[in-house]
Each structure stands twice: as structure tokens, then as C-alpha cells.
């Protein structure tokens, strides 16, 4: 019963919204806002196996590459900056400045240096995903209880063991929070990067549909993009529960 109740809570609102959209648009005669039934019918015709191979999979591959690079670089730099006090104070103004710059603004600049290939698109994703991971890692490292660090020093665990057994577990909730934020940003930047001088990808396909006035196909691409984001969020929740099972159990016990 508990599993069924959770499933209803998760799927209930999307199902209601989908039904409302279906009924509200049923009689639509607008060229730009076709009925949902027409969009769904177009979905199967548009997103064939060939288009999945040419557009969807390349987009997911670029997102995966940029997101993975951001996670590795963000966590590594965050651990270093968070543990070294003078480095934190020296880099804090620069980090705050870099975080305030909207990543889409950097697309033309990145194109100048990286060209218009896949490298540019991955670089755009990294330019946005890096900061939430890096800053949350720094905050997580600096929030580790001093008593735990003093205890590790008293037992002479050494820097490596202290990092692995005290700092990383203590900072991991904030690190995972940053990774979750970065995933949403990565999906957005994946689409934006593919709207500039691209030859494949979800963003490229949606723009092509819009330019050719294939409006139902355009809406089907937007629908697919939303489903992709929801699927990635669900997968990340599974990852979160697996990595931080001890943290969620502790919070449940405290509640």
C-alpha cells in the first residue's frame, strides 16, 4: 500500500495536468497551439529510431560528458579550496564573480576558442554545471564539525584518511545537492548550445521544426525534452538514495 501511495503521489499531478491539457486543447484551431492529441500523434511519427540516433543520443552524450567533467573538476577543486584556508579567502571573490555570470552569455566567447563542434557544446555545459558543484563542495567541506577534525587529528589518521573518512562523508550531502542543481542547468545548456551552429541534437531539431513551421513536431520535441529531464531527475534520485542512504535514514530517525 505504501508503494502504491507513493506512486500515486508522484504520478498523480502529472497525470492530472496532462488530462487538463488534453481536454483544454481538444477544440483548438490555433496554428501555434495545436491539440495535445495532434502533438502525441506527431510524436511517434517524428521521433523514429533514426532521429533518436541522430539527435537524441548525441545530446545525451554531450550532456553526460559535460556533466561528468563538471563533477570531477568541481569536487576536486572544491575539496582543495575548502580545506586550504588561505586559498578559500583568495578565490572567494573570483568564484562569486564567476557564478554571477549567466552561462548562456559565454556561448559566443566559447565558440571563438572551441569552434562549433561537440567540444564547444560540452564546454558550454561545463561552464554552467561546474559552479554549483564547486561552491556546494566548498561549503560542505567548510561545514564539517571541527570536533570531528580534531578527533581525526588526535588519532593521527593523516590527510588522506581524514579526507576519505571525515571530510567527504560530512560534505557529501552538500556535494550531492550541487550535483542535482548542476544536472538541471546542464539540460538547459545542452539545448542552448545546440541552437548555435549545430547539425544535430534536440535543440537543433526543435529550432529546425520551428523554422519550417512544423509546429506539432516542435511541441513534440519540447515534450520529449521534458520527459528526458524528468527521467534524469528520477535516476538522480535513485543515485542520491544509494549514496546518501545513511544521511536519509538519520534524518528520518530524527524526524
What's the pLDDT score for residue 172?
Answer: 93
Q: What is the mean pLDDT of residues 189-210?
A: 88
**pLDDT band at 76; cut points 50, 70, 90:** very high
Q: How far is CA 75 from CA 43, 82, 108, 137, in A?
A: 39, 10, 27, 6
Report the alpha-carbon angle 221-226-229, nearest 5: 125
Q: What is the mean pLDDT of residues 145-162?
A: 82
What's the pLDDT score for residue 3?
Answer: 63
Q: Is the pLDDT of residue 1 over 60?
A: no
User: What Rg value do the Cα atoms of the chain yield, rounded?
Assistant: 22
Of residues 180 and 13, which shows the higher confidence score?
180
**pLDDT band at 116; cut points 50, 70, 90:** confident
Q: Is the pLDDT of residue 29 over 80?
A: yes
Helices 2-24, 36-46: inter-axial angle, 10-degree rounding:
110
**pLDDT band at 166; cut points 50, 70, 90:** confident
**pLDDT band at 100; cut points 50, 70, 90:** confident
CA-closest candidate to residue 62, choices 209, 200, 176: 200
What's the pLDDT score for residue 210?
Answer: 92
CB 183 within 8 A of CB 231: no
Reported as type and span, the H/E element at residue 229 is: helix 215-243
Cell reading at 83: 580545506
What's the pLDDT score for residue 132?
Answer: 93
Q: Is the pLDDT of residue 255 over 70?
A: no
The overall average pLDDT reported for the chain is 88
CA dihedral 132, 135, 137, 138 (to 10 degrees): 180
State the DSSP code for 103: G
Q: Is the pLDDT of residue 6 over 80?
A: no
CA dihedral 210, 216, 218, 223 (to 10 degrees): 160
CA-closest candidate to residue 21, choices 9, 7, 10, 37: 37
Q: What is the mean pLDDT of residues 156-175?
A: 87
- CA 96 from centroid of its chain's CA atoms: 20
**pLDDT band at 108; cut points 50, 70, 90:** confident
In angstroms, rounded to a whole number, what is the distance separating the alpha carbons of residues 140 and 119? Answer: 31
What's the pLDDT score for residue 9?
Answer: 73
**Tens digits of residue pLDDT in 212-252:** 999 999 999 999 999 999 999 999 999 999 988 888 787 77
Amino acid at each position: 500500500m505504501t508503494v502504491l501511495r507513493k506512486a500515486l503521489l508522484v504520478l498523480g499531478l502529472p497525470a492530472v495536468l496532462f488530462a487538463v491539457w488534453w481536454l483544454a486543447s481538444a477544440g483548438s484551431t490555433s496554428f501555434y497551439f495545436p491539440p495535445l492529441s495532434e502533438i502525441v500523434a506527431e510524436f511517434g511519427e517524428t521521433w523514429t529510431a533514426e532521429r533518436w540516433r541522430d539527435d537524441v543520443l548525441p545530446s545525451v552524450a554531450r550532456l553526460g560528458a559535460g556533466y561528468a567533467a563538471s563533477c570531477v573538476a568541481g569536487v576536486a577543486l572544491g575539496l582543495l579550496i575548502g580545506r586550504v584556508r588561505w586559498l578559500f579567502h583568495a578565490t572567494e571573490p573570483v568564484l562569486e564573480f564567476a557564478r554571477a555570470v549567466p552561462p548562456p552569455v559565454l556561448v559566443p566567447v566559447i565558440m571563438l576558442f572551441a569552434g562549433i563542434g561537440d567540444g564547444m557544446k560540452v564546454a558550454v555545459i561545463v561552464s554552467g554545471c561546474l559552479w554549483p558543484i564547486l561552491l556546494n563542495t566548498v561549503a560542505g567541506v567548510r561545514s564539517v564539525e571541527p570536533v570531528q577534525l580534531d578527533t581525526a587529528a588526535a588519532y593521527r589518521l593523516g590527510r588522506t584518511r581524514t579526507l576519505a573518512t571525515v571530510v567527504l562523508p560530512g560534505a557529501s550531502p552538500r556535494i550531492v545537492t550541487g550535483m542535482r542543481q548542476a544536472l538541471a542547468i546542464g539540460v538547459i545548456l545542452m539545448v542552448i548550445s545546440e541552437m548555435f551552429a549545430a547539425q544535430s541534437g534536440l535543440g537543433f531539431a526543435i529550432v529546425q521544426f520551428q523554422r519550417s513551421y512544423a509546429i506539432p513536431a516542435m511541441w513534440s520535441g519540447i515534450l520529449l525534452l521534458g520527459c528526458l529531464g524528468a527521467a534524469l531527475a528520477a535516476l538522480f534520485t535513485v543515485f542520491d538514495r544509494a549514496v546518501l542512504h545513511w544521511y536519509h535514514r538519520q534524518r528520518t530517525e530524527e524526524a
